[in-house]
Amino acid sequence: MLRDITLGQYYPADSVIHKLDPRVKLFGTLIYIISLFVFKGLPAFILAAIFLVVLIKLSKVPFSYMVKGLKTIVLIMLFAAVFNLFLTPGTKLVSFWIFTITYEGLKNAVVMMVRLIFLIIGTSLMTLTTTPNELTDGLEKALSPLKYIKVPVHEIAMMMSIALRFIPILIEETDKIMKAQMARGADFEHGNLIQKAKNMVPLLVPLFVSAFRRANDLAMAMEARCYRGGEGRTKMKPLHYQKRDRMAYLTLLVYLAAVIGLRILWTNVLSGMAAGILPGAFPL
C-alpha cells in the first residue's frame, strides 16, 4: 500500500517533456495549478483535460503511473467532496435526516474533485518527468535572486532533493518495520481511526530513530565527498534555455490566456446560452 505513492518518483523515458528545462516545468505546473482554480465552465474544463492528456501522451509515462498517485489522496478528495456536498447552501435537491444536498453543493463537490484530480496528476507529471536533482537545480536557479536578501536558496534546494531521494527508502523502511511488528502480533488494520492512529506510535518511534541515523550517515558521506555548501560548486548539468523551452513557455502562455478568456466568455455569454439551450443543464 505504501509503495503506491508516486509523488517524487522519477520515471525514466526519452520524451520532449523529460528534456524540457526544469524551470519550464516548474512554472508550467504553477500555471496549470492557477488555471485549474481560474477555470469556469465546461469548455475551459475540457481544455484543461485535453491539455493534460496531450502532455501525458508527450511524456511517454504510462497513464497508470499517474493514477497510482491518486489512490493515496482518495481520502482527502472524499473529505473535500463530502464537505462541499452537504455544507453548501442553495437550492434544495435531496434531503434526508439532517442532511441536505443542494444543487450548488453537488456542483461544488464535482468541481472540487475534478480540480484535485487534475492537480495531483499535473504535479505528478512534473515529478515523474523531472529527476529530483533537476527539479532542485531548477528551483535553485529560478529562486537565485532571493540570495541577495540572504535566503539560503542552495541549502533549501539541497534539502528538498535529499528529502525526495529518501521518500522511497523511508517508505520501504516503514513497510519493513510494520511487517516486523506484525510478525510479533501488532495490529495495524483493525479498530477505529483513533485506535489505528495509536497503533502507529510504535511504528513512528523506530522510523524516526532510523531516519536520524540515516541523516547522520548521509551528512558524513556528503562531507567525505567534499560537500561544503553552494559556494565554488560547479554543475554537472547546468541549465540553459533552449528553443524548445521558449516554445513551451509560449504554449503555456497561450493556454493560460485561453483559460482566462474562456472564463470571461463563460460568465458573460456562454452560460446564458447553455442555459437557454438546455434548461437545468450542468453549468460547471
Partner 1 sequence: MGIIKAKDLVHEYIRRDEEGNVESIQTALDKVSLDVKKGDFIAVLGHNGSGKSTLAKHINAILEPTEGSLWVDGFDTTEEKNIWDIRQRAGMVFQNPDNQIIASVVEEDVGFGPENIGVPTDEIWQRVEESLKAVGMLKYREHSPNKLSGGQKQRVAIAGVMAMQPECIVLDEPTAMLDPVGRKEVLEAVHELNRKKGVTIILITHYMEEVVDADHVYVMDAGKVVMQGTPRSIFSQVERLKEYRLDVPQITLLAYELKKAGLDIPDGILTREELTEALKKLCQS
Q: Which residues bind partner 1 (CB under 8 A)?
A: 9-10, 12, 131-133, 161-162, 164-165, 168-169, 214, 217-218, 220-228, 232-238
Burial of 35 (0-12, 13-18, 19+ CB in 10 A): buried
**Of 122 and 132, which CB lies nearer to partner 1 in the complex structure?**
132
Q: For helices 22-38 and 42-59, give the axis angle rounded to 10 degrees.
A: 160
Residue nearer to partner 1 on the CB measure, 10 or 255: 10
| Minimum distance, C-beta of residue 243 to partner 1, in the bound complex (Å) | 20
Q: How far is the CB of 153 from partner 1 (least distance, A)?
A: 16
Q: Are strands 92-96 and 99-102 parallel, antiparallel or unpaired?
A: antiparallel
Cβ nearer to partner 1, comparing 194 with 226 = 226
Rounded distance between C-alpha atoms, residue 96 and residue 99, angstroms: 5
Q: How far, rounded to the nearest angstrom, does the alpha carbon of residue 276 sit from its chain's CA centroid?
A: 38
Q: How far is the CB of 39 from partner 1 (least distance, A)?
A: 33
Cell output for 262: 474562456
Which among 215, 205, 198, 196 has a CA at the least distance from the CA of 174? 205
Nearer to partner 1, 169 or 205 (CB): 169
Q: For the CB of residue 209, give the shortest distance to partner 1 in the complex, in Å.
A: 14
CB of 232 to partner 1, least distance (A): 5
Cα 193 to Cα 266: distance, rounded to the nearest angstrom: 43
State which residue, 160 or 265, has the beta carbon closest to partner 1. 160
Which lies closer to partner 1 via its Cβ, residue 190 or residue 235?
235
User: H helices of the chain, where?
Assistant: 16-19, 22-38, 42-59, 63-71, 74-87, 103-129, 132-142, 153-183, 193-224, 243-265, 271-277
CB of 131 to partner 1, least distance (A): 5
